[in-house]
Chain A
């Protein structure tokens, strides 16, 4: 079973990664990052059971806390840029280049 869970987590991670590359709405991009973090958590929990120690679950718990903080900051930044540009598209922000 462990392998199944891991493959699932790998798939979710990869889908999240692709989503970051494909979506232009900053909020959706950020959701994809969250999906990646969730995939990580699944791997942690799976490994925790595999090894029979609690570290994995513990890390997953910490990741949730960290992710929550990150979400707050991230959404604040996105709101900030939306206010200025009236657009949440990440492609709009490309004054800095070359």
Chain B
């Protein structure tokens, strides 16, 4: 099937071996899992090496891609044809996918390195690295595949890796439950994605991105496109923890902290954003679906921020923040080509500063005997300066402190949203203010104020293998945003993959990016930070959470997300299951069991026909011969 899109035939070069990107970590996972205890001694280094190798390949591929004309920066690499003309596996290397690949392998490698230190006391470190490698491979397959099948395989692969890693400490019942929860909630989303893919297949007859261009998508009816968009969005919501499928993310913090940093902050949870951007052709042709995307994004960014305000568990606070930031990205992704560059840009900068903060949090926990309650922290700044400084850099980046990474990308999303729709814009600004509050709260409660440590806590700085990744991530958190956004550099880079926005959709450029919305945002953020200072910096923080107002409780309980799930989904679900079970037992099961028993019984009876007497066999042959002769005569009408 020749794709309508222009396919640049690649004549060798590094892109020819870019499959190594996926193959290396997969190989690592295979070696570590199959090798068993023999690889205990060097397994973690091997895992790191595989991840770094993938990073190196990604960098080289990226450099080679940069060397091409922008319109040629698109390479389809057919890996193999599975069912000719139906299911082919191949890689699509274009600006969008290579951006993701760089983020995944780059941040992934840093987190691998960090984990060498963080997991050094764990007996199952090798298994941990195997899963990490598996995750990286699956995630790369997800973003590098040139069709929805490969994407789906990667999608399920990261789901599996995430499940394994959340439940890594199986001995903790909470971890096991959380892993199951994540798995089940994700199934809902995957179901949507799968149906969406089926719909695409039946509508367009192809699943290759190259075939599903804007022109092709335009041929379908808008109703179909909206349906496809909403189904894909359901998938995206599941993976990216957007409302209403957000509830698993907070529980997922039961996993080891590097996992939270890599999977549940920097990479996997952004897969939904990738899906929406990659499927831009459908969304842009279905405004309703796009609108729903923006609404989900805004609702999630507010919900996440509110949750973040009330959490005392440092990782859960960060998880709420992640939800919120992905809400921003989703909002950007719902705005069409104008928002894509900012959404992906924010995704990348967020990958850096959020990973940075998670790892920082991990470093703090490492120092505080795995204590996660911020009310037991305080005044850690002098004890662990590197962690604190890097964390604060991340903090400044996330709240949008001018000239740091988050400022540029988040501001871009807010302004584009404002230009698109005032209400969305102002809600996004409000979210920014909340971010200012809860992030400041986190920093003040952790690093400043008075010591509220447990008696046996002896905090200390983490080893270099853990701090160096922090430092590198912090540098990224500072400079990356400006690098990407200024001069629309990233937008132009991405445009061959996702298209350039109409000029009318773009907000007016500002000198140094300061406009009304930006000013309002800055003001609100400052107010939020100041409020946090009065509440948690200057004032005494009680070591036990006080009874709180309705609103705080509301936020502490994850906006009653679980209760809502329970009331809306679980209870009716249980009723449904009960009814289903009833019918299942009586009807379906009866049928299936009856069928199984029937087949088994038939089998048992037929088996007895094989008496072992050769004369019986001869009899059956003679009967068979007579039957065949008779049948043929009958058919031949003689």
Residues of A within 8 A of B (CB): 17, 20-22, 24, 29, 90-91, 93-98
Contact = CB atoms under 8 A, between A and B. Distances in A.
Nearest to A33: B618
Contacts of A20: 615, 618
Contacts of B11: none
Nearest 3 pairs of A and B residues by beta carbon:
A97-B612, A94-B612, A90-B614
A22 B611 CA distance: 16
Contacts of B618: 20-21
Contacts of A95: 612
Interface in B576-626: 607-608, 610-615, 618-619, 622
Nearest to A22: B615
B615 A24 contact: yes
Contact of B608 (A22, A29, A96, A98): A98
A20 to B, nearest CB: 5
A20 B613 CA distance: 12
Given A98-B607, A98-B608, A91 B613 contact: yes
Contacts of A91: 613-615
Most buried by A among B610, B611, B612, B614: B614
Contacts of B608: 98
Contacts of B614: 90-91, 93-94
A90 B608 CA distance: 19
A58 B611 CA distance: 40
A52 to B, nearest CB: 26
B615 A21 contact: yes
12 contacts: A20-B615, A21-B618, A21-B619, A91-B613, A91-B614, A91-B615, A94-B611, A94-B612, A94-B613, A97-B612, A98-B608, A98-B612
A90 B611 CA distance: 13
A20 B623 CA distance: 13
A10 B628 CA distance: 17
Contacts of A22: 615
Given A94-B612, A96-B612, A98-B612, 18 more contacts: A17-B622, A20-B615, A21-B615, A21-B619, A21-B622, A24-B615, A29-B615, A90-B613, A91-B613, A91-B614, A91-B615, A93-B614, A94-B611, A97-B611, A97-B613, A98-B607, A98-B608, A98-B610
Contacts of B607: 98
A55 to B, nearest CB: 24
A72 to B, nearest CB: 20
Nearest to A91: B613
A91 B611 CA distance: 10
Nearest to A94: B612
A15 to B, nearest CB: 12
B615 A90 contact: yes
A51 B399 CA distance: 102
Contacts, number: 31
Contacts of A97: 610-613
A94 B617 CA distance: 12
B633 to A, nearest CB: 14
Contacts of B622: 17, 21
Contacts of B611: 94, 97
Nearest to B616: A21
Contacts of A94: 611-614
Nearest to A17: B622
A62 B534 CA distance: 110
A75 B443 CA distance: 96
A22 B608 CA distance: 20
A96 B607 CA distance: 12
Contacts of B619: 21
B514 to A, nearest CB: 87
Contacts of B612: 94-98
B618 to A, nearest CB: 5
Interface string B339-360: 0000000000000000000000
A97 B608 CA distance: 8
Contacts of A90: 613-615
Contacts of A24: 615
Contacts of B613: 90-91, 94, 97
A14 B615 CA distance: 15
Most buried by A among B607, B610, B618, B622: B618
A5 to B, nearest CB: 20
Contacts of A17: 622
A98 B612 CA distance: 7
Nearest to A98: B607
B605 to A, nearest CB: 11
Nearest to B622: A17
A21 B614 CA distance: 9
Contacts of A98: 607-608, 610, 612
A95 B618 CA distance: 17
Contacts of B615: 20-22, 24, 29, 90-91
Contacts of B610: 97-98
Nearest to A26: B614
A98 B607 CA distance: 5
A94 B612 CA distance: 5
A24 B615 CA distance: 8
Nearest to B615: A21
A94 B608 CA distance: 13
A92 B462 CA distance: 81
Nearest to A90: B614
A81 to B, nearest CB: 11
A21 B617 CA distance: 9
Contacts of A93: 614
Contacts of A29: 615
B191 to A, nearest CB: 44
A74 to B, nearest CB: 13
Nearest to A97: B612
A96 B611 CA distance: 8
B276 to A, nearest CB: 59
A6 B557 CA distance: 94
Interface in B265-301: none
A67 B607 CA distance: 34
